[in-house]
């Protein structure tokens, strides 16, 4: 590999960030999507679940993912990591209005995924239909929000962190469990398709860098087989 | 035109926003929405949720944490240096975990039992937070740098309104966390707000199993 002159700029150019997580999409997928959309190089360190108990107390919050950036140090918390990388790679807007729309998009996406993850680890079969009704209302509002900006989160310069956060949730949590629901939410479907068609994202989705599973089998009751998570 | 905050007459998800507005000393309107009017008002909101904030420059904003970041940036409670921003965001996530853990059990019929079994988790979370605070190189006692940010206001909010009423003895075991809470409470605008009638008397609505009586939420 390349020599380091010790100059900070050199280290930014020659050393890539390292993402540590389990070998599933889970809470790291938003981070992978930002890195991939940006065309940024990164290393992946997969943690085996059987090794987690030993590693856990050595982490800042007893959680994964964590990111090590040679220019910055170690960062915890998936959305803090993802936002940092988005800013670093110019996928986060610079004006307050668009930044606020990104933050609204992130919260709306989190509301959707948190509702689904809760039942995925709980009474999934019993709650799936009910959650579908909640999801219908959430997607109705998401459509309204995206329509304010011609179908994308904000601005007019292509996809950004907000779009990736929405895509992540639609593609990895909504679509596999509620395959027909986006048919009645065309604006959200449109965003999903636009992000999937972005050349870097499209390449990632076909690659073996994308983990085959969304949630960890043995813990989650769903989103834990390759067929389901295709 | 100034800011108008619309929310139910509880602390809930608007309390952080009230703290930022009060700390800033800026004029704001507060529009309380009574639960009986919610059915009519709900479809008029962007996401069928409250709080919402009407702003003079970017229209109406939904989602409490999106509103919080907007206000924090407007009122200099959000750093401009990227390294400092990351520390604020990491702290916000850690505090969110503490709040979410409590919110998950507080509507449950089994709350009293869950409250006991959840205590260990709260203790672990406060331990991580204590260590994180100690890593601020300025040793100011704040999350980052030497002045309060959005992260400190949210820390105060969750510690004072969720942790202290339910787990007061556990909280006492973390001096850095306790000191931060006291520092924010002693900011003159905040100190005044906490004594005022503008502060709602309860944290959560009537259907919650806790944090919904004035005595508990003092």
Q: What are the tens digits of pLDDT across the range A80-114?
A: 999 999 999 999 999 999 999 999 999 999 999 99
| Res. B182 pLDDT band, cuts 50 70 90 | very high
Q: What pLDDT was estimated at residue A219?
A: 87
pLDDT at B48: 95
Does pLDDT of B38 surpass 70?
Answer: yes
- Dihedral pair phi/psi, residue A122, rounded to 5°: -125, -130
pLDDT over threshold 60, residue A11: no
**Average pLDDT rounded to a whole number, residues A58-70:** 96
pLDDT for A1 beyond 90: no
Grade residue A156 by pLDDT with cuts at 50, 70 and 90: confident
Whole-angstrom distance, CA of residue A139 vs CA of residue A189? 10
Task: Provide φ and ψ at B61, rounded to 5°.
Answer: -110, 130
Say yes or no for a CB contact (<8 Å) between A145 and B132: no
Q: For B60-91, how does the pLDDT look when each residue is reduced to its tens digit (9 = 90+)?
A: 999 999 999 999 999 999 999 999 999 999 99
Which residues of chain B lie closer than 8 angstroms to A187, CB-CB?
Answer: none
Lowest model confidence (mean pLDDT) among A7-21, A40-54, A140-154, B124-138: A7-21
Q: Which has the higher per-residue pLDDT, A174 or A216?
A: A174
For position B199, what pLDDT does the model report?
98
* pLDDT for residue A13: 58
Q: What is the mean pLDDT of residues A115-144?
A: 96
Q: What is the pLDDT of residues B133-178, one digit of tens each?
A: 999 999 999 999 999 999 999 999 999 999 999 999 999 999 999 9
Candidate from A62, A72, A137 with C-beta closest to B124: A62
pLDDT score for A4: 35
Q: pLDDT band for A218, please (50, 70, 90 cuts).
A: confident
- Structure-derived torsion over alpha carbons of residues B182, B26, B145, B128, reported in degrees to the nearest 10: 50
- CA-based radius of gyration for chain A: 18
| B6 φ/ψ angles, rounded to the nearest 5 degrees | -115, 125
Q: How large is the average pLDDT for residues B183-198?
A: 98
Yes or no, beta carbons of B93 and A62 under 8 Å apart: no
Whether residues B89 and A77 touch (CB distance < 8 A) is answered with yes
Residues of B in contact with A145 (CB under 8 A): 46-47
Angle A214-A219-A221 from CA coordinates, rounded to 5°: 70
- Chain B residues close to A88, C-beta within 8 Å: 82
For residues A37 and A164, the answer to whether their CB atoms sit within 8 Å is: yes
Closest CB to A76: pick one of B69, B70, B90.
B90
From A73's Cα to the closest Cα of chain B, the distance in A is 10
With an 8 Å Cβ cutoff, are A77 and B90 in contact?
yes
Residue B216: beta bridge partners?
Answer: none
Tokens 């003895």 correspond to B169
pLDDT at B10 over 70: yes
Please give the ipTM for the structure prediction: 0.97
- The yes-or-no verdict on residue B31 having pLDDT over 60 is yes
Cis peptide before A65 (omega within 30 of 0): yes
Tokens 């479809």 — which residue? B43
Q: How far is A38 from chain B (nearest CA, A)?
A: 18
| pLDDT value at residue A206 | 97
Percent of chain A with pLDDT over 90: 89
Tokens 């962007």 locate to: B46
Helix axes A161-169, A186-197, angle to 10 degrees: 110
Interchain proximity B86–A79, CB inside 8 Å: no
Q: What per-residue confidence (pLDDT) applies to A10?
A: 47
Per the listing, tokens 């800042």 go with A60
Do A107 and B66 make contact, defined as CB atoms within 8 angstroms?
A: yes
Residue B163 is given by DSSP the state I
Residue A93 DSSP label:
-
């Amino acid at each position: 590999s390349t020599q380091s002159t010790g100059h900070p700029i050199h280290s930014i150019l020659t050393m890539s960030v390292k993402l540590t997580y389990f070998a599933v999409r889970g809470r790291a997928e938003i981070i992978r999507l930002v890195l991939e959309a940006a065309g940024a190089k990164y290393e992946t360190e997969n943690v085996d679940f059987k090794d987690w108990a030993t590693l856990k107390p050595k982490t800042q919050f007893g959680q994964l993912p964590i990111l090590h950036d040679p220019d910055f140090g170690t960062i915890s918390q998936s959305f803090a990591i993802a936002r940092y990388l988005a800013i670093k790679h110019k996928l986060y807007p610079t004006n307050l209005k668009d930044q606020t729309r990104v933050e609204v998009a992130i919260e709306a996406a989190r509301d959707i995924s948190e509702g689904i993850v809760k039942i995925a680890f709980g009474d999934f079969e019993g709650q799936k239909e009910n959650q579908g009704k909640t999801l219908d209302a959430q997607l109705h509002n998401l459509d309204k929000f995206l329509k304010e900006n011609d179908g994308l989160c904000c601005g007019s310069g292509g996809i950004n962190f907000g779009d990736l956060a929405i895509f992540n949730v639609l593609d990895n949590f909504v679509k596999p469990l509620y395959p027909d629901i986006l048919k009645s939410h065309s604006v959200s479907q449109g965003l999903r398709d636009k992000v999937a068609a972005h050349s870097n994202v499209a390449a990632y989705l076909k690659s073996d860098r994308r983990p085959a599973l969304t949630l960890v089998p043995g813990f989650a009751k769903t989103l834990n087989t390759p067929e389901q998570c295709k | 035109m100034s800011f108008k905050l619309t929310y139910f007459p509880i602390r809930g998800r608007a309390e952080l926003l009230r703290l930022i507005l009060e700390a800033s000393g800026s004029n704001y309107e507060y529009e309380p929405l009574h639960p009986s009017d919610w059915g009519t008002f709900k479809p008029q909101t962007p996401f069928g949720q409250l709080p919402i904030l009407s702003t003079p420059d970017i229209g109406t904003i939904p989602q409490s944490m999106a509103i919080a970041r907007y206000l924090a940036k407007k009122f200099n409670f959000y750093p401009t240096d990227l390294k400092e921003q990351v520390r604020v965001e990491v702290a916000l996530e850690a505090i969110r975990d503490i709040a979410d853990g409590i919110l998950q059990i507080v509507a449950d019929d089994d709350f009293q039992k869950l409250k006991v079994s959840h205590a260990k988790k709260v203790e672990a979370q406060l331990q991580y937070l204590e260590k994180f605070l100690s890593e601020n190189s300025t040793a100011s006692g704040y999350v980052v740098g030497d002045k309060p940010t959005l992260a400190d206001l949210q820390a105060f909010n969750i510690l004072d309104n969720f942790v202290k009423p339910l787990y007061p003895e556990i909280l006492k075991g973390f001096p850095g966390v306790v000191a931060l809470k006291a520092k924010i409470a002693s900011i003159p605008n905040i100190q005044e707000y906490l004594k005022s009638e503008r502060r709602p008397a309860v944290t959560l609505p009537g259907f919650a199993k806790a944090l919904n009586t004035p005595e508990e939420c003092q």
